[in-house]
Amino acid sequence: MKQESGDELVILAEYPYDWQAHIAKGILDDAGIPCIINNELFGGIYPIGFNSIGAITVSVRRRDLEEARRLTAHCSDSGD
């Protein structure tokens, strides 16, 4: 059985726009929680209707996931 170290990356959230992912990253950086933005390139190429292609994801270490969720809870609002 594999034991989890807490260092593995897990997806914190998916965002339709890169600016939302960057806001979340800024909040996490300020809190000292390392994170990675994935699929950012496609957001620049296809800024409109990007959701149909895939989302921009922000990943954190598993051990930081709960705190990261708490800190970025308001970033997932779609604004609709």
pLDDT at 17: 83
> Does residue 45 fall inside a structural domain?
yes
CATH number (domain holding residue 34): 3.30.70
> Does residue 28 fall inside a structural domain?
yes
> Does residue 4 fall inside a structural domain?
no
> Does residue 2 fall inside a structural domain?
no
> Does residue 1 fall inside a structural domain?
no
Give the pTM: 0.74
Residue 39, burial from CB neighbour count under 10 angstroms (0-12, 13-18, 19+): middle
Give every CB contact of residue 33 below 8 A, 6+ residues apart in sequence. 60, 61, 64, 67, 68, 71
The single-letter code of the amino acid at 3 is: Q
Task: Provide the H-helix boundaries in 1-80.
Answer: 18-30, 40-45, 65-72
> Does residue 3 fall inside a structural domain?
no
Distance, CA of 27 to CA of 75 (rounded, Å): 10
> Does residue 60 fall inside a structural domain?
yes
User: Which comes out higher in pLDDT, residue 79 or 15?
Assistant: 15
pLDDT tens sequence across 8-62: 999 999 988 888 999 999 999 999 999 999 876 554 555 555 455 568 899 999 9
- How many folded domains does the chain comprise? 1
